[in-house]
Structure 1
Amino acid sequence: MIEQKSMTAAAWVEMALLGSIWGGSFLSNHVALEEAGVATTVAMRVLGAGLVLWAVVRARGLSIPREPRVWGAFLVMGILNNALPFSLITWGQLNIESGLAAILNASTAILGVLVAALVFRDERLTARKALGVGLGFLGVVAVIGPSALGSFDLTSLAQLAILGAALSYAVSGAFARVATQGIAPEVAAAGMLTASSLIMVPAALFLDGMPDRAWSWPTWAALAYLALMASALAYLLFYRLLRRVGAGNTSVVTMLVPPVAILLGAVVLDESLPLRAFGGFALLALGLIILDGRLFRRPDETGTTAG
């Protein structure tokens, strides 16, 4: 049995804050894309966040690895956890609502279970996990809608792009479990953001040119939010929660992001989603609850969770 750390009131507050911050990233993407290109939006996000996290690493006196193997791992993580998924999500939001993008992105947890089951012996796909994964995929199908099966357009491609980002996150999580053992999470985050900056900054300059200082203040505010809040602060909060309450409890944040994104999209952007999107999210959430498993434990098992 694996110990399940308890959730304090303070931890729940931090969890809600993290979910709200990540939920706001979808609104910020939408606002930034009004004037900035996809590559520029992603480049400024990873570059700004990386600079902040290196300042944190220095302030905390954390050691910086120098082995080429470690920096090679940071490069892979920078691609899988930043450059590729951020680009796919940002591009996808050119063609679908921010709330819909957030719902589809929630499939990261479902895909993460499948990837882990394929890669790690201690993450076998039990009957309960299979049920949770199955419900999650039904939710994704419901969100996309049957019409996507009959006609393939930019909306369909955008939804597939978000799912591609979720798969990239899932593969990155499995890779990081092996490649970053013994490395402080803050250092790993700063390293992968640096690696992704080395990819995205040249790409942005080539595809979009230099950022325009004449952009409106909402665009600059959205870009600052993505870098400072949705990346730098969010990573620090995420790793703090991991240390305090464990991976199982921290995964609950997955269910908090879409409602925030949907609410912001409706209030700020006047977005409206079809009923199937809400039904699909309900199935996704149910699948995640089943994967979490804590509701199915006997009263004497509240302090532990099955391995």
Structure 2
Amino acid sequence: MPNTDAATGATQIRRGGVLLQFILLALTWGASFLFVAIALTGLSPAQIVLGRLVAGALALAAVCVIGRHRLPPPGMIWAHLLVVALLLCVIPFLLFAWAQQDISSGLASIYNATTPLMTVLVALVALREERPTRTTLLGILVGFLGVVVVLAPWEGLGAGSVLAQLACLGATLSYGIAFVYLRRFVTPRRLGAIPVATVQVGLGAAVMLVLSPVVARGEVDLSTPVIVAVLALGVLGTGVAYVWNTNIVTAWGATNASTVTYLTPVIGVALGILVRGEHISWNEPSGAVVVILGIAVSQGRLRRRTRAVAI
């Protein structure tokens, strides 16, 4: 007879391992805005993006070598992944880093939470098979009402931070376009997530290396906190995090794995307050709650929970 106790114990270990990776993923992505804020004390936005993409590319390359993952052969798929690299790495990373020169890391993390809303909105426009339902449209409306609360237009739109906040929304729109592009041109090829991420981040690093003589000029102050922050952004946030995310999606499914979106702004705001002493206005956490509610509605989560309770 099979050893039932041993099998059960192994299953619990695997579940515990996935849960630990989920927690680490939420902490890493939530802390990325804090790392950017620290890195900005010694580097320009473009220098930060260059550092994190190079570190991330090296980390993912090491994962591929150790795990013996085969990269997709050069060709049209690399052209598609170059587009994804620009939309998912280069452009949003630059916009967020530039924005955080004027806004707090906590506020940037709140705006990052609008990514699922942007993805749904882009999918409705670009994908014919994505027919909008009343629930989806309601969720988008609620989510963007939350964005308005965070933006606080009643306080005036002349402040420099408004442009920074709009840059954050531009970054999440870029994420949304990237995810839809991935779904349309890359996902149907059924390639491994880690090799795809390796090529994508590697191409992003190559783009920044080419552009660096123009965009990444300026003084550099490589203090220990700055170096640690850039390495954390690259190796963890842009490298190992992809591995954790892939494992979570495999174990829990894409829908459950996506709930990390609800935790990152909470962690981002908390770390900004605890580590950097950032102050938040009442509208920022209030708007974040409304944004998260909109995400839940647009994804049909509230309806599924209601049905489960009714059963």
Answer whether TM exceeds 0.5 for this pair. yes
What CA distance in whole angstroms lies between the structure 1 residues aligned with 2:20 and 2:143? Answer: 26
Summarize the alignment of residues 90-169 of structure 1 with structure 2, pairs less than 5 Å apart: 90-147=97-154, 150-169=156-175
Gaps of 5+ in 2: 1-14
Deviation per CA, 1:66-116, whole angstroms, max 9, x where unpaired?
232011011101100000000000100000011101101111111111111
Provide the C-alpha distance between the structure 2 equivalents of 1:60 and 1:231, rounded to a whole number of angstroms: 18
CA contact (8 A) 2:110 2:265 kept: yes
CA separation of 1:146/1:210 partners in 2, compared to 1, >3 Å: closer, same or farther? closer
Q: Deviations over 1:20-59 (max 9, x none)?
A: 1101100000000001111110011011111111121122
- Which amino acid letter does the alignment assign opposite residue 96 of structure 1? I
Letter in 2 for 1:184: G
Equivalent in the alignment of 1:4: none
Tell me the equivalent position of 1:305.
Answer: none
Q: Which runs of 5+ in 1 are unaligned?
A: 1-7, 303-307
Question: What RMSD in Å do the two structures reach over aligned CA positions?
Answer: 2.1
Name the structure 2 match of 1:289: 296
Q: 1:210 to 1:201 in 2, by over 3 A?
A: farther
Q: What secondary structure is seen at the aligned counterpart in 1 of 2:36?
A: helix
In structure 2, the CA distance between the partners of 1:178 and 1:164, relative to structure 1 (3 Å rule), is same
Per the alignment, do residues 16 and 291 of structure 1 end up closer, same or farther by CA in structure 2, a change over 3 Å counting?
Answer: farther
Residue identity in the other structure for 1:73: H
**Corresponding residue SS for 2:46:** helix
Query: 236, 244, 261: which one pairs with 1:237?
Result: 244
Match of 2:192 in 1: 184
With over 3 angstroms needed to count, the CA separation of the structure-2 counterparts of 1:100 and 1:210, relative to structure 1, is closer
Aligned to 1:202: 210
Aligned to 1:63: 70
The TM-score with structure 2 as length reference comes to: 0.89
Counterpart contact for 1:75–1:196, Cα < 8 Å: yes
Q: Secondary structure at the match of 1:122?
A: coil
| Alignment partner of 1:299 is 2:305 | no
Report the TM-score, using the length of structure 1 for normalisation. Answer: 0.90
Q: Which amino acid aligns with 1:168?
A: S
Residue 210 of structure 1, CA deviation: 8.1
Q: Distance in 2 between matches of 1:203 and 1:95?
A: 24
**Cα contact 1:109–1:288 (8 A) shared by 2:** yes
Aligned counterparts of 2:218 and 2:283: Cα–Cα separation in 1: 41
